[in-house]
């Protein structure tokens, strides 16, 4: 009997322990849930409702100054945000995402996490997860490092001691003399790609660390677009995002210059490569990767790019006439995947610059 009473007491104690444990787990889960809501972390994601054919309704674009990414791909993303009623992180060029939490007035009445973002910042996934929804695809845009250098040093804010425009040749004769430190203390002339992806300057010529950084970008980013191959990049982007041709259309007048002659100046390129070794490694890796993607796509991909270019010409021609008329006008053109319709409102958004699109989003989000 003593053993029976002992066993019964033990069982009773076990039950109490189990109840206590369940209570602790429930309290922890509820507390964790409320804490994530309080700081703006995403609580959960419904992956069951997302199929292989559903478009991604969230995207983060890391932009680097003077790549023209904000003006091109950024405008595509902001237009998508407007037409699909999504929320976005609103920052101007040069603003850093990590400052948003300390400046509530800089944002809007939408609660975190946000659907989209077009921002310039040193890549930090820990910070991004505080503001973006889970499973957000990360995208970035690169252009040839020498063309990027020309854009940076010919900007009106970048002058030498005599206030004259700096040429690429003059800069490369003595880079240290012209090195410009901007407000955010990130050099835009010395390996800016590596800097924005988080590499410290003393690693710019370390081959193993450069390869490690490229592997990190490969792992974390769903697509790296190349500005010199704008249309091929956008078609790849469309496939990754599962968007429509209408979503990736852009104003041909805003298409950036390519400067092919500059990229063929072997002596200048060699001198710049010695100054920006990390950036050349990053650019060439992802440029080659895009080339391989295009080659694997074969004739199917080539036809898709060709049809996309034809569609762009048709839409831009229509919008050029539609905006000079009154009322709502629509145009339908057939591409290899079906018809796309553009209204007068669509045309206005297509031809708006990135500043106008940002202002539309700012007014809409504050008003809601």
pTM, rounded to two decimals: 0.79
Return the pLDDT at 45.
31
Return the pLDDT at 47.
31
pLDDT tens-digit map of 314-323:
889 888 887 6
Return the pLDDT at 104.
43
Q: Which residues are CB-contacts of 232 (< 8 A; sequence separation ≥ 6)?
A: 226, 290, 294, 301, 305
Q: What is the rounded distance in angstroms from the CA atom of residue 293 to the CA atom of residue 49? A: 29
Torsion sign (Cα): 212, 215, 219, 224: positive
Return the pLDDT at 218.
96
- What is the set of domains in the chain, with CATH numbers? 57-297+353-367 (3.40.50)
Return the pLDDT at 342.
86
Contact criterion met (CB below 8 Å) for 154 and 141: no
- Orientation angle between helical segments 145-153 and 277-322, nearest 10 degrees: 70
Return the pLDDT at 183.
39
**Which residues of the chain fall below pLDDT 50?**
1-6, 25-26, 29, 32-51, 96-109, 159-163, 181-184, 367-368
């Amino acid at each position: 009997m003593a053993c029976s009473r002992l066993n019964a007491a033990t069982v009773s104690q076990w039950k109490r322990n189990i109840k206590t444990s369940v209570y602790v787990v429930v309290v922890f889960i509820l507390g964790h849930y409320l804490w994530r809501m309080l700081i703006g972390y995403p609580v959960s994601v419904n992956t069951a409702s997302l199929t292989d054919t559903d478009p991604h309704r969230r995207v983060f674009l890391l932009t680097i100054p003077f790549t023209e990414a904000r003006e091109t791909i950024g405008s595509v993303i902001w237009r998508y945000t407007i037409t699909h009623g999504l929320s976005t992180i609103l920052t101007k060029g040069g603003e850093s995402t990590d400052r948003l939490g300390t400046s509530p007035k800089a944002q809007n009445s939408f609660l975190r996490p946000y659907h989209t973002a077009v921002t310039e910042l040193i890549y930090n996934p820990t910070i991004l997860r505080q503001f973006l929804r889970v499973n957000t695809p990360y995208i970035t845009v690169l252009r040839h490092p020498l063309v990027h250098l020309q854009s940076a040093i010919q900007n009106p804010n970048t002058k030498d001691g005599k206030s004259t425009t700096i040429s690429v040749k003059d800069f490369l004769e003595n880079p240290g003399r012209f090195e410009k430190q901007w407000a955010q203390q990130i050099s835009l002339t010395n390996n800016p790609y590596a800097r924005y992806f988080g590499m410290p300057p003393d690693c710019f010529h370390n081959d193993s660390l450069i390869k490690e950084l490229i592997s990190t970008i490969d792992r974390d980013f769903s697509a790296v677009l190349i500005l010199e191959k704008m249309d091929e990049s956008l078609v790849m982007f469309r496939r990754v995002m599962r968007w429509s041709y209408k979503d990736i259309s852009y104003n041909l007048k805003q298409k950036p210059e390519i400067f092919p002659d500059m990229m063929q100046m072997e002596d200048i390129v060699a001198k710049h490569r010695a100054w920006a070794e990390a950036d050349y490694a990053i650019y060439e890796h992802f440029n080659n990767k895009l080339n391989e993607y295009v080659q694997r796509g074969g004739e199917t991909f080539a036809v898709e790019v060709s049809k996309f270019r034809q569609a762009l010409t048709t839409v831009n021609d229509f919008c050029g006439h539609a905006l000079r008329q009154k009322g709502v006008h629509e145009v339908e053109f057939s591409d290899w995947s079906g018809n796309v319709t553009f209204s007068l409102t669509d045309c206005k958004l297509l031809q708006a610059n990135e500043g106008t699109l940002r202002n539309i989003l700012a007014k809409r989000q504050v008003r809601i």
